Amino acid sequence: MNDKIAKLQPVEIWENFVALNAVPRPSKKEEKVRQFMLDFGRKLGLETFEDKIGNVIIKKPATPGMENRKTVALQSHLDMVPQKNKGTEHDFEKDGIKMLIDGDWVTADGTTLGADNGIGVAAIMGLLASKDIPHPPLEALFTIDEETGMTGAQNLEEGILDAEIMLNLDTENDSELDIGCAGGIDITAKGTYQTEQTPENSQAYLIKVKGLTGGHSGMDIHLYRGNANKILNRLLYLGSQQGLRVSEIHGGGLRNAIPREAEAVVVLPKAKADNILADMKSLADTIKIEQAKQDPDLTFEFLPADLPENVMNQSDQARLIKTVYGAHNGVYRMSPDMEDLVETSNNVASVNVANGNIQIDNLTRSSVESTKEDLANALKSVYELGGLNVELSGSYPGWKPNPDAQILSIMTGLYEKMYHHKPEVVACHAGLECGIIKSHYPNMEIISFGPTIQGAHSPDERVNIKSVQKFWEYLKETLKNIPEKN
Query: What does the pLDDT look like over 38-61, one tens digit per residue?
Result: 999 999 999 999 999 999 999 999
CA angle 268, 274, 280 (to 5 degrees): 80
- Is-catalytic flag, 146? yes
Report the DSSP beta bridge partners of residue 344: 333, 366
Residues 224 and 319 in one domain: yes
Give the tens place of pLDDT for each residue, 215-240. Answer: 999 989 999 999 999 999 999 999 99
Q: Please give the distance of CA 44 from its chain centroid, rounded to a whole number.
A: 32
Helix axis angle, 11-21 to 115-129, nearest 10° = 120
Q: Can you tell me the distance from the alpha carbon of 374 to that of 380, in angstroms, rounded to the nearest whole number?
A: 10
User: What pLDDT score was predicted for residue 269?
Assistant: 97
Determine what percent of the chain is predicted with pLDDT higher than 70: 100
Q: For residue 319, is it within any domain?
A: yes
Residues 79 and 189 in one domain: no
Q: For residue 299, is it within any domain?
A: yes
Q: Rounded to 5 degrees, what are φ and ψ at 274?
A: -65, -40
Residues 254 and 356 in one domain: yes
Q: Rounded to 5 degrees, what are φ and ψ at 135?
A: -160, 155
Peptide bond into 117 cis (omega under 30): yes
Q: What is the DSSP pairing of strand 138-143 with strand 72-77?
A: parallel
Q: How many residues does the chain have?
A: 486
- Number of structural domains (the chain) is 2
Residues 167 and 189 in one domain: no
Residues 200 and 155 in one domain: no
Q: Which of 477, 446, 395 is nearest to 171 (CA)?
A: 446
Q: For residue 391, is it within any domain?
A: yes
Q: Rounded to 5 degrees, what are φ and ψ at 184?
A: -155, 170
Q: Which range marks the domain in which residue 427 is found?
A: 2-181+398-480
User: What pLDDT score was predicted for residue 478?
Assistant: 98
Residues 284 and 384 in one domain: yes
Residues 362 and 342 in one domain: yes
Residues 291 and 388 in one domain: yes
User: What pLDDT score was predicted for residue 6?
Assistant: 95
State in Å, rounded, how far the first CA of the chain is from the last one.
Answer: 48
Q: For residue 486, is it within any domain?
A: no
CATH number at residue 410: 3.40.630.10
Q: For residue 200, is it within any domain?
A: yes
Give the tens place of pLDDT for each residue, 94-139. Answer: 999 999 999 999 999 999 999 999 999 999 999 999 999 999 999 9
Give the tens place of pLDDT for each residue, 273-313. Answer: 999 999 999 999 999 999 999 999 999 999 999 999 999 99
Full-model pTM: 0.72
Q: Which of 479, 472, 433 is nearest to 174 (CA)?
A: 472
Which of 380, 396, 412 is the last residue before a domain boundary? Answer: 396
Q: For residue 304, is it within any domain?
A: yes
Q: For residue 411, is it within any domain?
A: yes
Q: For residue 485, is it within any domain?
A: no
Q: Which of 301, 323, 299, 304 is nearest to 312 (CA)?
A: 323
User: What pLDDT score was predicted for residue 367?
Assistant: 87
Q: Can you tell me the distance from the alpha carbon of 350 to that of 258, in angstroms, rounded to the nearest whole number?
A: 9
Q: Per-residue pLDDT for 340 more than 70?
A: yes
Give the tens place of pLDDT for each residue, 239-263. Answer: 999 999 999 999 999 898 999 999 9
Map the chain to HEC letters. CHHHHHCCCCHHHHHHHHHHHCCCCECCCCHHHHHHHHHHHHHCCCEEEECCCCCEEEEECCCCCCCCECCEEEEEECCECCCECCCCCCCCCCCCCCEEEECCEEEECCECCCHHHHHHHHHHHHHHHCCCCCCCCEEEEEECCCCCCCHHHHCCCCCCCCCCEEEECCCCCCCEEEEEECEEEEEEEEEECCEEECCCCEEEEEEEEECCCCEECCCCHHHCCCCHHHHHHHHHHHHHCCCCEEEEEEEECCCCEECCCEEEEEEEECCCHHHHHHHHHHHHHHHHHHCCCCCCCCEEEEEEECCCCEEECHHHHHHHHHHHHHCCCEEEEECCCCCCCEEEEEEEEEEEEECCEEEEEEEEEECCHHHHHHHHHHHHHHHHHCCCEEEEEEEECCECCCCCCHHHHHHHHHHHHHHCCCCEEEEECCCCCHHHHHHHCCCCEEEECCCCEECCCCCCCEEEHHHHHHHHHHHHHHHHCCCECC
Q: Which of 341, 305, 307, 325 is nearest to 429 (CA)?
A: 341
Residues 333 and 288 in one domain: yes
Band (3; pLDDT cuts 50, 70, 90): confident
Q: Can you tell me the distance from the alpha carbon of 484 to that of 371, in angstroms, rounded to the nearest whole number?
A: 40
Which of 341, 374, 396 is the last residue before a domain boundary? Answer: 396
CATH number at residue 266: 3.30.70.360
Give the tens place of pLDDT for each residue, 391-442. Answer: 999 888 888 888 899 999 999 999 999 999 999 999 889 878 999 999 899 9
Residues 371 and 472 in one domain: no
Q: Can you tell me the distance from the alpha carbon of 151 to that of 396, in angstroms, rounded to the nearest whole number?
A: 10
Give the tens place of pLDDT for each residue, 141-169. Answer: 999 999 988 899 999 998 999 999 999 99
Which of 346, 381, 396 is the last residue before a domain boundary? Answer: 396
- The dihedral through the CA atoms of 153, 44, 114, 137 has a sign that is positive
Mean pLDDT of the chain: 96
**Average pLDDT in the 312-337 region?**
96
Please report, for residues 53, 118, 232, 268, 459, the alpha-carbon distance to residue 25 in angstroms, rounded to integers and kept in the order given. 16, 10, 32, 44, 16
Catalytic residue among 15, 116, 139, 146: 146
Residues 337 and 370 in one domain: yes
Residues 379 and 430 in one domain: no
- Is-catalytic flag, 102? no
- The dihedral through the CA atoms of 304, 305, 307, 313 has a sign that is negative
Catalytic residue among 15, 79, 316, 433: 79
